[in-house]
């Protein structure tokens, strides 16, 4: 079988070996090294993994697992037979289960991949760890704050590896972007702006009304935490990397603005997270307009990094002639009044800034519109690293803690919107990993 990780990522991972400071800050990347994967595969062949949850995201994972040389899918589980049969067609030799608890009794399985609705993440993760399985779980960690704490504490007691599919932790443009931000590329970080816009209702066809909540689980609070855990989870994590701390409070408003179809979760959210030093994350998401797509912006005194696109912009950019810029805009009549903005004559408009790449060579940019996946977003690296841990038994550093921090912040954001109050980070949900 051919390894699915592309050559560009392989080269990037090799170069990480020389970056001791970066690996110290992002130690989960150690499990991705080609050398570690090859050594594990030679020592014990393939990881025997099972997929729990065979819907669209689970099937996406199967497409990658089939091409990871040190992985073998040996079992599939889903209570919805339509999904189970679709997955079985992709992995004909796999054992089939309708109840995940029966699957966990199979001692030949090294690890499980959980791609079920959010409301079941914590329960299945806890049961799998208790059964002695390594676990890979889709984000977010859990549906409630208490479930997050229970999973975190169980992991501390368990000898097994636990991974969460937080793709940005393995995306080269995000990794390199954070490294350069910490080296001062954009100056002191003064704030963060993130948004994620789509124009789709999240609703899927239901063959029988009795299956409504099972198939359209994202719309109902018993299974879903809505836009925050589905989308914001990724983006808040990146902001914390840039700030190197956790926000102390959050306020926000959430509403059902457009999709008035019986759903219970907001289709429009707007929040502000504040750090102890006064820096803020402004976050917005809605799913009835896609014009602004997705952006993760880190704002510095000297420039701005747009990590989504893998580029940065400088406030004073010596690579662009101010006079040429002015003449071009006069020619194109793209301005009204030109404010005096220093010797560069730079109009203070967004389109006057020149993008510079954060990494060399071609890169994949996620427009944020797919409900299932984005190419080359790091999902392949996480699965590969998880399968390596299934072989070696090694626990990966900081992944659980990162997932915990991001999920708790999302749930606190929902609490702030539900209660229309400013929510302070509760003491009982703080963990040693956090810096405030």
- Residues contacting 398, CB < 8 A, separation 6+: 26, 27, 28, 433
Instruction: Please list the residues that pair with 295 across neighbouring strands.
Output: 195
User: Is it the case that residue 209 has pLDDT exceeding 80?
Assistant: yes
pLDDT band at 42 (very low <50, low <70, confident <90, very high): confident
Instruction: State the pLDDT at residue 341.
Output: 42
Instruction: State the pLDDT at residue 290.
Output: 96
Instruction: State the pLDDT at residue 324.
Output: 53
User: Is it the case that residue 330 has pLDDT exceeding 70?
Assistant: no
Alpha helices (H) in 109-144, listed in sequence order: 121-130
Q: Which two tokens stand for residue 23?
A: 């690996």
User: Is it the case that residue 110 has pLDDT exceeding 70?
Assistant: yes
Pick from 36-45, 101-110, 115-124, 251-260: least confident: 36-45
- The conformation of residue 356, written as its DSSP 8-state character, comes to E
Instruction: State the pLDDT at residue 358.
Output: 92
Instruction: State the pLDDT at residue 45.
Output: 81
Instruction: State the pLDDT at residue 72.
Output: 96
As a whole number of angstroms, the distance between CA 401 and CA 434 comes to 8
Domain with CATH 3.30.360.10 in the chain: 184-371+406-429
Instruction: State the pLDDT at residue 18.
Output: 47
pLDDT above 70 covers a percentage of the chain that reads 83
User: Is it the case that residue 2 has pLDDT exceeding 80?
Assistant: no
pLDDT band at 292 (very low <50, low <70, confident <90, very high): very high
User: Is it the case that residue 418 has pLDDT exceeding 90?
Assistant: yes
Average pLDDT value for residue range 293-321: 91
Q: Please state which CATH class domain 184-371+406-429 belongs to.
A: alpha beta
Backbone angles phi, psi at 305, to 5 degrees: -105, 120
User: Is it the case that residue 337 has pLDDT exceeding 60?
Assistant: no
Is the dihedral angle over the CA atoms 326, 327, 332, 336 positive or is it negative?
positive
More confidently predicted of 40 and 314: 314
Cα dist from 177 to 25, 310, 311, whole Å = 13, 7, 8
Q: pLDDT tens, 216-245?
A: 999 999 999 999 999 999 999 999 999 999
Average pLDDT value for residue range 155-169: 96
- The conformation of residue 191, written as its DSSP 8-state character, comes to E
Domain with CATH 3.40.50.720 in the chain: 7-169+375-404
As a whole number of angstroms, the distance between CA 373 and CA 107 comes to 31
CATH code that applies to domain 7-169+375-404:
3.40.50.720
């Amino acid at each position: 079988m051919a390894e699915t990780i592309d050559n560009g990522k392989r080269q990037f991972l090799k170069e990480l070996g020389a970056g001791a400071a970066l690996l110290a800050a992002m130690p989960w990347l150690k499990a991705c090294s080609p050398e570690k994967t090859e050594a594990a595969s030679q020592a014990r062949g393939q990881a025997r993994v099972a997929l729990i949850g065979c819907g669209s995201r689970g099937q996406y994972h199967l497409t990658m697992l089939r091409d990871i040389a040190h992985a073998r899918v040996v079992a599939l589980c889903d209570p919805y037979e339509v999904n189970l049969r679709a997955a079985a067609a992709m992995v004909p030799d796999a054992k089939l289960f309708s109840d995940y608890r029966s699957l966990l009794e199979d001692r030949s399985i090294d690890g499980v991949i959980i791609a079920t609705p959010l409301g079941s993440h914590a329960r299945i993760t806890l049961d799998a760890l208790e059964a002695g399985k390594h676990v890979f779980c889709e984000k977010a960690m859990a549906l409630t704050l208490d479930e997050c704490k229970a999973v975190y504490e169980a992991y501390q007691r368990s000898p097994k590896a636990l991974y969460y599919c937080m793709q940005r932790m393995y995306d080269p443009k995000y990794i390199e972007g954070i490294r350069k931000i910490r080296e001062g590329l954009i100056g002191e970080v003064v704030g963060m702006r993130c948004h994620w816009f789509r124009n789709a209702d999240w609703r899927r066809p239901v063959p029988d009304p009795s299956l409504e909540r099972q198939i359209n689980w994202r719309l109902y609070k018993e299974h879903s935490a809505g836009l925050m855990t589905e989308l914001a989870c990724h983006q808040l994590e990146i902001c914390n990397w840039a700030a190197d701390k956790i926000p102390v409070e959050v306020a926000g408003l959430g509403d059902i603005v457009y999709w008035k179809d019986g759903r219970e979760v907001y289709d429009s959210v707007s929040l502000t997270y504040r750090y102890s030093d006064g820096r803020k994350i402004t976050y917005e998401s809605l799913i009835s307009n896609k014009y602004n797509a997705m952006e993760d912006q880190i704002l510095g005194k000297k420039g701005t990094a747009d990590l989504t696109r893998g580029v940065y912009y400088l406030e004073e950019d010596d690579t662009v002639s101010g006079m040429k810029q002015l003449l071009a805009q006069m020619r194109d009549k793209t301005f009204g009044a030109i404010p005096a903005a220093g010797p560069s004559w730079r109009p203070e408009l967004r389109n006057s800034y020149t993008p510079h790449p954060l990494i060399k060579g071609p890169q994949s940019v996620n427009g944020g519109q797919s409900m299932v996946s984005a190419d080359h977003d790091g999902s392949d690296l996480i699965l590969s690293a998880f399968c390596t841990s299934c072989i070696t038994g090694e626990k990966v550093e900081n992944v659980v803690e990162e997932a915990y921090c991001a999920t708790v912040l999302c749930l606190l954001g929902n609490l702030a919107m539900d209660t229309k109050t400013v929510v302070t980070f509760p003491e009982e949900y703080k963990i040693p990993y956090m810096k405030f």
